[in-house]
């Protein structure tokens, strides 16, 4: 039986480059090599694509790139070809499906998805439009709010916008306020601001990661998440809850878990969890998601549900929140990978 050829992409020109290396290590270790021909495609921090022939361990410790182990490639945009060329030799490699394991800008924001769509290559995950919408936190909030879902009060600005104008526009927002890069993930570039005097520094910090930023009211409630897997008839994992002992779930806590704790299932009633699942699925459909996504929400003491954000390529190690929510309902990590590939080939 002929193997399906999968090009697994990792790295990327993104502040979340290292997070991608952790995620892809688990993916590569769990893909069925008896069933799939696995091609490892690394993208450097400066955005160059390379075919990588070394070990998974070198990816894990970020020593994968070397002249001896890599060859420069480019994907063909000729839809009849379905694959990539080696730039030096000109030889061609056929690909059946692409599995992007990339986080943040240039991997999760629709740019890569657009390239693959132009090339006619099937791929795992949300399409270009959905990826772009979900990455833009402000537009995503506006769309779901029109459908009756609650979102935090917020404003979006460009980094060049006059600071006095910004202060005037947000003066009625209640502190504390989050200042966030508009397009980003893993809480990178985010500051929780408690007073006006600290707003400028927070804005400047966010602008290191994006040309646009968001100023948003903090919702007082618990942070919950929902893993969704599927296209037309998605599966929904169990709802989890982040118990925080710090001001918010920042990058350090997400990947080192020093003071926070993840509860699975969330410490609320089954009826409340079902309500959260239904809201998450509605958001998934409003934003035209497919394949998979993790929908992050806030749940308040008043039993109100607010959208936080949608991650179209969530953290994907074997111990990450997304696979654990599905594992709780009986779907193993390996089964998630199989399903994702199947869903990608169906589109």
Q: Is residue 144 located within the same domain as residue 281? A: yes
With cut-offs at 50, 70 and 90, classify the pLDDT of residue 254: very low
DSSP 108: S
Q: For residue range 127-145, what is the model confidence (pLDDT) as tens digits?
A: 999 999 999 999 999 999 9
Cα 243 → chain centroid: 21
Give the bridge partners for 70, in sequence order: 52
Residue 258 — pLDDT band, cuts 50, 70, 90? Answer: low
Q: Which residue has the tokens 């926070």?
A: 260
Give pLDDT, residue 234.
97
Give the pLDDT mean for 321-338: 98
pTM: 0.91
User: Cβ–Cβ contacts within 10 Å for residue 268, how many?
Assistant: 17
What pLDDT is stored for residue 245 in this prediction?
73
pLDDT digits (tens, 9 = 90+) for 142-197: 999 999 999 999 999 998 888 889 999 999 999 999 999 887 655 788 999 999 89
User: Tell me, what's the pLDDT at 247?
Assistant: 57
Q: Which of 167-176, 292-301, 327-336 has the lowest mean pLDDT?
A: 167-176
**pLDDT bracket for residue 248 (50, 70, 90):** low
- Examine the domain organization and report whether 253 and 329 are in the same domain: yes
Q: Are residues 160 and 43 in the same domain?
A: no
DSSP summary character for residue 221: S
Q: What are phi and psi of 227, to 5 degrees?
A: -90, 130
- Residues 226, 213, single domain; the answer is no
Question: What per-residue confidence (pLDDT) applies to 253?
Answer: 43
> In terms of domains, do 270 and 208 share one?
no
DSSP structural state of residue 267: S
Q: Are residues 110 and 253 in the same domain?
A: no
Please tell me whether residues 261 and 205 are part of one structural domain: no
If 0-12 CB within 10 Å is exposed, 13-18 middle and 19+ buried, where does residue 150 land?
A: middle
pLDDT of residue 184: 66
Residues 176 and 233 in one domain: no
Q: Look at residues 217, 233, 260 and tell me which one is the last residue of a structural domain.
A: 217
Give the count of domains, the chain: 3
- Tell me: do 208 and 84 sit in the same domain: no
CATH number, domain with residue 104: 3.40.50.20
Q: What is the pLDDT of residue 1?
A: 77
Query: Given a cut of 80, is residue 288 above it in pLDDT?
Result: yes
CATH number of 166's domain: 3.30.1490.20
* Same-domain status, 263 and 143: yes
CB 208 within 8 A of CB 214: no
> Could you read off the pLDDT of 38-85 as tens digits, one per residue?
999 999 999 999 999 999 999 999 999 999 999 999 999 999 999 999
- The answer on 210 and 236 residing in a single domain is no
C-alpha span between 113 and 145 (Å, rounded): 26
Which residue, 176, 192, 217, sits at the end of a domain? 217
Domain of 166, in residue numbers: 154-217
CATH number at residue 234: 3.30.470.20
φ, ψ dihedrals at 244, nearest 5° = -105, 140
Q: 153-167, 243-257, 288-302, 313-327: which range is least confident on average? A: 243-257
**332 pairs with which residues across the strands?**
none
Same domain, 288 and 140: yes
pLDDT in tens, 201-236: 999 999 998 889 999 999 999 999 999 999 999 999
Mapping DSSP to helix (H, G, I), strand (E, B) and coil, where does residue 112 land? helix
Q: Over pLDDT 90: what percentage of the chain?
A: 86
Which one of 105, 123, 141 terminates a domain?
123
pLDDT bucket at 249, cuts 50 / 70 / 90: very low
């Amino acid at each position: 039986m002929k193997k399906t050829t999968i090009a697994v992409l990792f790295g990327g020109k993104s502040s979340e480059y290292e997070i991608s290396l952790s995620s892809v290590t688990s993916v590569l270790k769990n893909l069925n090599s008896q069933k799939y021909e696995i091609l490892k495609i690394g993208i450097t921090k400066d955005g160059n694509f390379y075919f990588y022939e070394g070990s998974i361990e070198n990816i894990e410790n970020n020593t994968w790139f070397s002249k001896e182990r890599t060859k420069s490639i480019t994907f063909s945009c000729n839809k009849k070809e379905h694959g990539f060329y080696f730039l030096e030799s000109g030889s061609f490699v056929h690909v059946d499906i692409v599995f992007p394991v990339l986080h943040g800008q240039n991997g999760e924001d629709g740019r890569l998805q657009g390239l693959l769509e132009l090339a006619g290559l099937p791929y795992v995950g949300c399409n270009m439009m959905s990826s772009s919408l979900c990455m833009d936190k402000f537009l995503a909030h506006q769309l779901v709010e029109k459908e009756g879902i609650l979102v935090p009060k917020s404003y979006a600005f460009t980094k060049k916008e006059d600071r006095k104008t910004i202060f005037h526009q947000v003066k009625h927002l209640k502190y504390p306020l989050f200042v966030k890069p508009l397009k980003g993930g893993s809480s990178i570039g985010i500051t929780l601001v408690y007073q006006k005097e600290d707003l400028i520094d927070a804005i400047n910090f966010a602008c290191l990661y994006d040309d646009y930023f968001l100023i948003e009211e903090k919702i007082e409630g618990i942070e919950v998440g929902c893993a969704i897997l599927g296209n037309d008839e998605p599966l929904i994992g169990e709802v989890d809850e982040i118990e925080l002992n710090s001001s918010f779930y920042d990058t350090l806590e997400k990947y080192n878990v020093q003071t926070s704790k993840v509860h699975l299932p969330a410490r609320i009633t089954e009826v409340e969890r079902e309500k959260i699942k239904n809201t998450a699925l509605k958001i998934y459909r409003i934003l035209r998601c497919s394949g998979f996504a993790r929908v992050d929400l806030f749940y308040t003491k008043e039993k109100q549900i607010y959208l936080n954000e949608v991650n179209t390529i969530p953290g994907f190690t074997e111990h990450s929140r997304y696979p654990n929510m599905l594992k709780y309902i009986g779907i193993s990590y390996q089964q998630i990978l199989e399903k994702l590939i199947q869903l990608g080939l169906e589109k």
